[in-house]
Amino acid sequence: MIRQHNIQQQVALLTLIPLLILTVFLEFFLLHGRFSDLDSGLIERGKLIARQMASSSEYGVFSNNQNFLSTLANGVLREHDVRGLVILNAASDILLSAGEISTTMQELSSNARATQIGLSGSHAQLRRAGQVMSQDGQGMGLQIPVKVDSRSVWIYQPIVPAQVSVDDLDFRPPAQQIGAVIIEMSKANTEKYKREMLLVTLVGTALFLLTSLYLVYLASRSITIPTRQLSVAVQQIAQGDLSTRITFTTKVAELATLAQGLNEMTFQLQQDREILQQRIEQATQALREKKEEAERSSHDKSRFLAVASHDLRQPLHALGLYVAELRRQLSLTPQQHLVEQVEQSVDALATLLNALLDISKLDAGAVIPQKQSCNIAAMVTRVASDYQMLATIKTFIWWCALAKGM
């Protein structure tokens, strides 16, 4: 069975789902860009500090002046996010180590000839890269390897002495690397700022979605409340309450038109039902009058039959006495069979009168009919004898036969 939702839920889903998708996409895009900018800014700041340290420590590395290098290192350590630094000489030996040096930094610093920070090339290649100079004496394309993990950023900057032109000759000797500076930048503050930014973004997004949901709820009330009232009204009309009317006020034109049409339809149905009810009452009254008239006619007929049968009994009874007397006087004459036929006819007529009287009693409700067995053979023989005389007059051959067991 398909799960059904009300209009308010449908409106909320249709509004919030695209908004949620758009919000998540924009947040991901903006946070990814901002996080990348923060990481890039940390690396660029570390490169700038490494270049400044390399330029400032040229004299101290050349002269192996530990006090001078220590003063420079203390100044660099006061920079934001600088965790530690290592200064190497031309032989990749550690001249100075300051700050909180991680285990990885110590391992990289101790291996002077191998890859010092695990990036693009070995220390020898970095030294060769430091020998590439332009014609105006400025370094071009010096590679600055960078290594990044979850806690720190390591930046390697070679120390190349600056060359001063003493004449106008174009020939300049290649610059030799006299050392290197390795600076470790901490990512703690950057990651903390990322977390704060993510938290603020999530809180802002939640507030934005809640505000949007509340605005959608307020906007949907102009549709859901009238629609709910329409639904209730339709259910009441379906239950037969045609007096239901919709009285809400809405700014939605379609809902107002629907409510007006429903009210007009209900009013028309109510009028039609009243007219139909009047017609039914009129037809019922006419049927009741016809029934009463038929009952009166039936009662009058039953009463007439009862009176008529009672009045006919007396002459019929007298006729029976006359036939009996005639039968006694003609008992030895040939007309005896005629007397018997007349007597049977009188009995049949008495039976018919009794039947009419019974019918009038049935109509009046004075007699309750009961089923019982009867002699079919005697009844058929009686009917056959009644019609024998008529058949003789009409010159018909009249006979009656019954099956065995009847």
Picking from 179, 182, 113, the residue whose alpha carbon sits closest to that of residue 153 is 182
Please tell me the distance from the alpha carbon of residue 346 to that of residue 350, in angstroms, as a whole number: 6
Question: Which pLDDT does position 116 carry in this prediction?
Answer: 40
Sign (positive/negative) of CA torsion 148, 149, 153, 154? negative
Distance, in Å, from the CA atom of 116 to the CA atom of 143, rounded to the nearest integer, reads 14
> In the chain, where are the structural domains located?
7-161+174-199, 371-406
- CATH for the stretch 7-161+174-199: 3.30.450.20
- Predicted local distance difference test score (pLDDT) of residue 167: 56
Q: What is the pLDDT of residue 163?
A: 66
Q: Which residues of the chain have pLDDT under 70?
A: 1-8, 103-145, 163-175, 306, 309-310, 331-334, 363-367, 405-406
Reported as a single tens digit per residue, the pLDDT across 354-380 is: 777 777 777 666 667 777 887 777 777
Res 282: pLDDT: 92
Phi then psi for residue 71, to 5 deg, are: -65, -45
Number of H helices, E strands in the chain: 9, 5
The whole-angstrom separation of Cα 363 and Cα 78 is: 128
Q: Where are the beta strands (DSSP E) in 29-89?
A: 82-89
Give alpha helix (H) positions in 239-252.
none
Range 309-314, long-range pairs (CB < 8 A, 24+ positions): 309/353, 309/354, 309/356, 309/357, 309/360, 310/357, 312/353, 313/350, 313/353
What are the tokens at 41?
A: 């800014």
Query: Taking the model in full, what pTM does it have?
Result: 0.51
Tokens 């239950």, residue?
A: 239
Residues 53 and 61: their CA atoms lie apart, in Å, by: 11
Beta bridge partners of 94: 88
Structure tokens at 344: 């049977």
154-188 confidence digits (pLDDT tens): 888 888 887 665 555 555 666 678 888 888 888 88
CA distance 188 to 194: 10
